Amino acid sequence: DPSEYDHFRMYIERGKQVDRREILERLVAMQYERNDMDVRPGLFRVRGDVIDVYPSASENSIRIELDGDVVVRLTILEGLTARKLHSPEWIELYPARHHVVSREKLVAVLPDIEQEMRERVEWFKNEGKLVEADRLRRRTLYDLEMLRETGMCQGIENYSRWIDGRNKGEKPYTLLDYFPDDFLMIIDESHMTVPQIRGMYNGDQARKKSLVDYGFRLPSAIDNRPLKFPEFEKYMKKVIYTSATPGPFARQNSNQIVEQLVRPTGLVDPEITVKPVVGQVDHLLGEIRKTTEMGDRTLVTTLTKKTAEMLSEYLVEAGIKARYLHSDIGTVERIEIIRQLRQGKYDVLVGINLLREGLDIPEVSLVAILDADKEGFLRTDWALVQTMGRAARNINGRVILFGDHVSNAMQSAIDETNRRRKYQIKYNVEHGINPVSIQKSIRDIAQGIIKFEKEVQTKIPDFDPFEVDELADYIIDMEEQMKEAARNLEFEKAAKLRDQVAELRKRIEGT
């Protein structure tokens, strides 16, 4: 509930009078945990008149310094090094968790939760499902005890219908409820995003139904759910749909359609060639070699993982530096493979459904689509346009569609691409534009990871000199952060912290 969440917001201003005990009680009510040893989001620690808060939505910490009942200093500290960043005049602290509620309101709904549990346990017993009945009773009683004593439990969101005071089936509060009424909604890649929003509710209900049926959750947990699409539509008052292949919903619900066909680089959509399936692999091999001789790269899309792996293996045996890419490969490894493709370690990347939206590789001048005539999700007209667009970042861009006949989807994609290409060429001629390939540094493809690495990495040589004891304490803190990162499966962060700990240990040994 936005109003309930706003009630827990805490405003602190330098020079104002505030009771230290009141600050601590408010932090506990906001679901912050006191821990004088650990340093991670959602905790706070107290040392005399100094209170350090680690907000859940920030990697930096906030230090509140008091002189009696007066706030004398507010400081934003770097979370990892505790170095001073700046001293604001005021700060706002928000709850450590999304699901917060006043104790009075929480205590009032506990009997309702317990009553629902009794009714559901009785139903299980009547159905002869004694294991499910016992499982639900134990879990719910434990949660009720935690809520009663601490105001929080694991999975508190599953009791949100009771806590929010909603009726059965009524829509839950979401992030959209925190925006003003006239906010602008931008739906990127709307041809994919809109169907995903449509499917969120049904997917969640299928999972929740299993939890309820087997006694892991009360039936009211079903109302902790995503919005149904009609409910989501009520928030769609001012919407911009962005997509190279807008879907029917975006077209039907748009008052104005604006096409951005011209690129700043003058690049035009790629030429398209249709080739028969018979002998497609041998023909593809020859085209790959031509592309490699030009110093460019090739993307090949197949319909199955097995085909991608087998084709990749065949190309390697033929002397081509090839690699397959599909959903079984982790996100970090995918990015590294794409980086290596750009660097020239590989000349060919064989994939399925990953070589589409948002993948910009300027070095690719050939996109080959195998079995392009097979009707289905991966070979719709918009899927073909998106895949073919991967060759539109290079001046030599071209596409080969392999199929025994030209399907309706193929013809639609070819017609649309040729329409855009004709307009782009005409525009370039009229304005004297000479197309040039996109220039993009290789590290940009992994910009998110590089940014993450910079945030995690500590410039140890820039530290103020530590006493040996202080440095040893700091190492202990870093080791705890490393273990916590590993428990959270943040292995890249854990590895960075491990390296920093090793460097600090060397410094101690050198003192």
Where residue 286 sits, what CATH number does that domain have? Answer: 3.40.50.300
Phi-psi region of 231 (alpha: psi -120 to 50; beta: other; left: phi over 0): alpha
**pLDDT for 376-393, tens place per residue?**
877 888 888 888 888 888
Cβ-based neighbours of 310, under 8 Å, separated by 6 or more:
none
The answer to whether 483 and 454 are in contact (CB under 8 A) is no
Q: Are residues 282 and 426 in the same domain?
A: yes
Phi-psi region of 269 (alpha: psi -120 to 50; beta: other; left: phi over 0): beta
The answer to the question of residue 109 being in a domain is yes
Q: Are residues 280 and 391 in the same domain?
A: yes
* Mean pLDDT over the full length of the chain: 83
Counting the structural domains of the chain, the total is: 4
The answer to the question of residue 263 being in a domain is no
DSSP labels, 36-58: SS---TTEEEEETTEEEEE-TT-
Residue 103 CA to residue 49 CA, distance in Å, equals 27
3-state helix, strand, coil in the chain (%, to 5): 50, 15, 35
The answer to the question of residue 177 being in a domain is yes
Strand pairing category for 322-325 and 348-351: parallel
Closest-CA residue to 63 (of 23, 7, 33): 23
Q: Is the pLDDT confidence value at 463 over 60?
A: no
Domain end point (choices 36, 62, 93): 93
More confident residue, 451 or 125: 125
Closest-CA residue to 267 (of 391, 363, 412): 391
Q: Are residues 79 and 133 in the same domain?
A: no
Q: How many Cβ atoms are within 10 Å of 499's Cβ, its own excluded?
A: 15
The answer to whether 390 and 356 are in contact (CB under 8 A) is yes
**pLDDT for 359-377, tens place per residue?**
778 888 999 999 888 888 7
Instruction: Tell me the pLDDT band of 163, cut-offs 50, 70 and 90.
Output: confident
The answer to the question of residue 460 being in a domain is no
Domain region containing 373 = 271-431
Q: Is the pLDDT confidence value at 503 over 60?
A: yes
The answer to the question of residue 251 being in a domain is no
Mean pLDDT of 410-430: 92
Burial class (CB in 10 A: 0-12, 13-18, 19+), 256: exposed
Residue at 465: amino acid letter: P
Q: Which residues on adjacent β-strands are paired with residue 104?
A: none
DSSP labels, 411-434: HHHHHHHHHHHHHHHHHHHHHT--
Residue 502 CA to residue 344 CA, distance in Å, equals 34
Q: Is the pLDDT confidence value at 100 over 80?
A: no
Q: How many Cβ atoms are within 10 Å of 281's Cβ, its own excluded?
A: 15
**pLDDT for 247-258, tens place per residue?**
889 988 888 988
Q: Are residues 82 and 52 in the same domain?
A: yes
Cβ-based neighbours of 396, under 8 Å, separated by 6 or more:
294, 296, 365, 437
Q: Are residues 230 and 374 in the same domain?
A: no
Residue 215, both tokens: 């006694």
Cβ-based neighbours of 66, under 8 Å, separated by 6 or more:
18, 20, 49, 50, 51, 72
The answer to whether 218 and 158 are in contact (CB under 8 A) is yes
Q: Are residues 283 and 415 in the same domain?
A: yes
Mean pLDDT of 408-415: 92
Closest-CA residue to 386 (of 355, 411, 352): 355
The answer to the question of residue 418 being in a domain is yes
Residue 443, both tokens: 């590290």
Residue 53 CA to residue 39 CA, distance in Å, equals 9
Q: What is the CATH number of the domain that holds 44?
A: 3.30.2060.10
Q: Which of 214-228, 359-373, 409-423, 430-444 has the lowest mean pLDDT?
A: 430-444
The answer to whether 375 and 404 are in contact (CB under 8 A) is no
Q: Are residues 349 and 494 in the same domain?
A: no
Strand pairing category for 297-301 and 348-351: parallel
